[in-house]
Amino acid sequence: QVQLMESGGDSVQAGGSLRLSCTISEKDRYCMAWFRQAPGKEREGIASTHSADSTNRITYASSVKGRFIISHDNAENILYLQMNNLKPEDAAMYYCATFPRSYTSYCPMTQDRYTRWGRGTQVTVSS
């Protein structure tokens, strides 16, 4: 069973940067995504990619496009989320998630497609 573990969450000031990491226990062909959930709000998908994609078919939510970058280290099997120019509204619990899929087209950002989840890492942004 694939296990995911996030790290890198911290408390930063607005305008700052953080890099989140998600260590994935098994190598396979799957969709990978970052989600976040702020208190009182629904969980939202913010970035997705495929583990075997080499053509940069990445999807971003409009709220983070141009500020966040999702990437995958194939050798170490770690999913990253580089977050730049953080805003107070970015404060949330951040989760990584995967589901197995053999083909490498764009991956969805709807949470009900994802079958494996990490426990989350907290990001706090102060103004």
State residue 31's pLDDT score: 97
State residue 55's pLDDT score: 82
State residue 103's pLDDT score: 86
pLDDT tier, 41 (very low <50, low <70, confident <90, very high otherwise): very high
The residues, ordered by sequence, that sit 6+ positions from 75 with a Cβ below 8 Å of its Cβ are none
Give the separation between CA 49 and CA 16, rounded to whole angstroms: 24
Mean of the per-residue pLDDT values of the chain: 95
Side chain identity, residue 71:
S
Q: Tell the residue number behind the tokens 């969450």, with chain if given.
A: 9
